[in-house]
Amino acid sequence: MGNKDQKSIPTSKVKRAAKIVGTGAKVSGNYIKYYSKKAFNKNLTRDQLNSDNAEDIYNTLSELKGSALKVAQMMSMDEQVLPTAYQQKFAMAQYNAPALSYPLISKTFKQYLGQTPEETYDSFTKEAVNAASIGQVHKAEKDGNKLAVKIQYPGVADAISSDLKLVKPLAARLFNMKSADLNMYLEEVESKLIEETDYLNELENGEKIRDLCGDFKDIVFPKYYRSLSSKRILTMDWIEGTMFNDFIKQDIDQALRNKIGQSLWDVFLYQMRELQIVHADPHPGNFIITKDNQLCIIDFGCVKEIPDDFAHYYYQLLRPDILQHESELQEIYKKMDFFRPEDSEADKVKLKKVYENMISLLGRPFHSDKFDFSDKSFFESIFKMGEEISKDKSIRKLNNARGSRDAIYVMRTFFGLYNLLHQLKAEVQLNYPIYAKKAS
C-alpha cells in the first residue's frame, strides 16, 4: 500500500483526547496565519486555509481510526457539507487510510479466533489490500476458496462514545448547530457505529439483504463464513472485479453505464420502499463491478431500518405534486419536526421557502419516468443551494436541531446514491416511485 503501516493506535481516552487537542492547536495556528495574511491581502481566499486544516485534521483522524474517522468519511460523501479540500481529503477514509502492521493483525486474530491467520487459513496476505475507517481487508484462501478477511482496528468499538464527544464541538461548528441540539443526532450515529463494529451483526445483515434481494439478477452479494468470523473479524468470498472508483475511470460505453446505474438505483429503491431496510453506506469503496458486469455490494455493517411513519411522510415529499398540496405539506412539516415552537412567523416563512426549494430540487429524479444523473447542472444547483443556505445569516441564526434523527442515514443513503450515479454518468428509469403504496 502507498501509506506506511501503522504500528499502534492510541486507545486510551487521554491519549486520543491529546491528539484531538493537539490538532485543534494546529488548526488555530492555521487560522492565525490566514488572518495575518488577510490583513494585507483583502482578496485572499480560504483555499489554502481549508487545505491546511483538512490535512491536519485527516492526519490525526486517520491515526486514531474508528468513529472519528468514520464521521469524516460520512461527511466526505456530501459535497454540500464541507469545502472541496476537506471532502477530497476525508474521502481517503473510504478505502485508503493507513493500514495496521502485521503484529497487530496477528494479535487481533489470537484474541478473537484463538489462532494466528496462518493457522486459520491455507494462505493469508500480510499486507492489507485496502484500509478504511473501522477496519482493513486482507486476501486469504481456504479449501480452494478465495476469501476477503476484514479485521477491525483494536479499541475502535470501545472508543465510540468518547470519540463522538471529542468531535462534537467540530461537528457543531461545521453544521452551525448548538452543541446540545446535536445530541439526538449523535445518539443515532453512535447506535449505528456500535452496530457497525459488530462484525457478526454485519454478517447477519449481509445474509438477510442477500436473501431479500435475491431476485435482482445483475446484483451479487458475497457469501459469508460464520466459522471463520467473530465480532472483530469477518470472512467472506473474495469478489473478482473492479472497484467502483477504478471502473468509472475506464472507457465505458453509455449502455453499460446505464445498466450498472439501473441495477444500483433499483436495488436501493427496493430496499428503501419495499423492505424499509437499506444498506446505508453507499460510498464507492463498497461496490465492485465483476468481470460479467454485475454489481457486487459489500459491507453491510451500516444498515438502517426505516420506521413506517417516517417512511410515509418523508417519501411523500418526493411526490411530483406535493408542493401543490399546502395542507398536506404543513402536516408533513409538523410530523417531521421541521419547525420549532420558538420559531416566529417570519422565521417560518423563511424556512418554508428553504424547504420548498429543497423538496423541488432534491426530488427531481422522482418527477419523471427517467433521469440523467450525468446532468452537471442538477448537482451544481444542489451545491449552490447549500452554499446559499450556509451563507444566509437569517437562516444560520436558526441553528436549532430540526427534523427526525431517522433522516440522518436516509438522507445519507439518498445523497450517496445520487453521487454514485453522477460519477457513473448513468441515466436511469424510475421504476420504483418511492412515494407510491408498497407492494402487498
DSSP string, 206-267: HHHHHHHTTT-TTEE---B-GGG--SSEEEEEPPPEEEHHHHTTS---HHHHHHHHHHHHHH
Say yes or no: 299 and 379 in one domain.
yes
Say yes or no: 250 and 328 in one domain.
yes
Half-sphere exposure of 151 (CA within 13 A, CB side): 34
pLDDT grade for 2, boundaries at 50, 70 and 90: very low
Within a domain: 211: no
Q: Are 301 and 281 in contact (CB under 8 A)?
A: yes
Q: What is the pLDDT of residues 198-209, one digit of tens each?
A: 999 999 999 999
- Rounded to the nearest integer, the mean pLDDT of the chain is 83
Cα distance between residue 274 and residue 254, in whole Å: 29
Within a domain: 354: yes
Say yes or no: 184 and 270 in one domain.
no
Say yes or no: 280 and 421 in one domain.
yes
Cα distance between residue 91 and residue 84, in whole Å: 10
Within a domain: 6: no
Within a domain: 127: no
Cα distance between residue 173 and residue 88, in whole Å: 19
Domain count, the chain: 2
pLDDT of 275: 96
If one counts every other C-beta atom within 10 angstroms of the C-beta of residue 5, the result is 18
Within a domain: 171: yes
pLDDT of 44: 60
Say yes or no: 178 and 248 in one domain.
no
User: What is the rounded average pLDDT of the residues 58-70?
Assistant: 61
Within a domain: 232: no
pLDDT of 1: 41
Say yes or no: 341 and 402 in one domain.
yes
Cα distance between residue 400 and residue 252, in whole Å: 46
Domain that holds residue 42: 13-97+157-193
Cα distance between residue 432 and residue 440, in whole Å: 14
User: What is the rounded average pLDDT of the residues 294-317?
Assistant: 96
Say yes or no: 174 and 320 in one domain.
no
Q: Are 230 and 113 in contact (CB under 8 A)?
A: yes
Shortest CA distance to 410 belongs to which of 270, 247, 272? 272
Q: What is the pLDDT of residues 251-260, one digit of tens each?
A: 999 999 999 9
Q: Are 355 and 314 in contact (CB under 8 A)?
A: no
Say yes or no: 171 and 252 in one domain.
no
If one counts every other C-beta atom within 10 angstroms of the C-beta of residue 291, the result is 8
pLDDT of 93: 44
Q: In percent, how much of the chain has pLDDT > 70?
A: 74
Cα distance between residue 87 and residue 109, in whole Å: 34
Residue type (1 letter), 96: N
Q: What is the pLDDT of residues 157-168, one digit of tens each?
A: 887 887 777 777
* pLDDT above 70: residue 312: yes
Q: Are 408 and 188 in contact (CB under 8 A)?
A: yes
Within a domain: 222: no
Q: Which of 73-87, 151-165, 235-249 has the lowest mean pLDDT?
A: 73-87
Residue 425 cell numbers, joined: 454518468
Within a domain: 34: yes
User: What is the rounded average pLDDT of the residues 379-401?
Assistant: 80
Question: For the chain, percent helix, then strand, then coil, each to nearest 5?
Answer: 55, 10, 30
Q: In what order do the strands lie in the sheet containing 241-243?
A: 219-220, 295-297, 287-290, 241-243
Q: Which residue has the cell 491528539?
A: 19
Q: At what angle do helices 160-175 and 183-196 cross, to 10 degrees?
A: 140
Q: Are 117 and 106 in contact (CB under 8 A)?
A: yes
Residue 96 DSSP label: B
Say yes or no: 254 and 386 in one domain.
yes
Say yes or no: 315 and 177 in one domain.
no
pLDDT of 186: 80
User: What is the rounded average pLDDT of the residues 415-435?
Assistant: 93
Shortest CA distance to 73 belongs to which of 176, 173, 192? 192
Residue 4 cell numbers, joined: 506506511
Cα distance between residue 54 and residue 51, in whole Å: 5
Q: At what angle do helices 13-38 and 160-175 cross, to 10 degrees?
A: 20
pLDDT grade for 184, boundaries at 50, 70 and 90: confident
pLDDT of 386: 81
